[in-house]
């Protein structure tokens, strides 16, 4: 029988470290605060510790959103 419980609940997962945009984020590995930003993670420029982005990478080119139900038009390129 299938479980009705969601596989992952953020509120019940305990302490989760993440990168918060528009705030000063200190690296948990070395304590410095210079980051290389990606779409899904931020990586410390000194020790390469990677943290997930708190915003979840819902912005940027090439990302599709399923809430509207519309299929995006094909790219002209
Ligand atoms: Zn570091």
| Alpha carbon of 48 to ligand 1 centroid (Å) | 6
| Alpha carbon of 27 to ligand 1 centroid (Å) | 5
pLDDT value of residue 42: 93
Regarding pTM above 0.85, the answer is no
How does pLDDT run across 26-75, given as a tens digit for each residue? 999 999 999 999 988 999 999 999 999 887 655 556 666 556 556 666 77
Domain boundaries, the chain: 22-57
Near ion ligand 1, which residues have CB within 5 Å? Answer: 27, 29-30, 44, 46-47, 49
| Alpha carbon of 49 to ligand 1 centroid (Å) | 5
pLDDT value of residue 1: 63
DSSP 11-66: GGS-----B-TTS----TTT----EEE-SSEEEETTT--EEEBTT-S--STT----
């Amino acid at each position: 029988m299938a479980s009705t419980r969601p596989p992952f609940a953020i509120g019940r997962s305990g302490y989760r470290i993440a990168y918060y945009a528009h705030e000063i984020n200190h690296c948990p590995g070395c304590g410095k605060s210079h980051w290389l930003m990606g779409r899904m993670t931020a990586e410390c420029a000194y020790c390469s510790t990677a943290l997930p982005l708190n915003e979840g990478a819902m912005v940027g080119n090439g990302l599709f959103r399923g809430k509207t139900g519309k299929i995006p038009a094909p790219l002209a390129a």
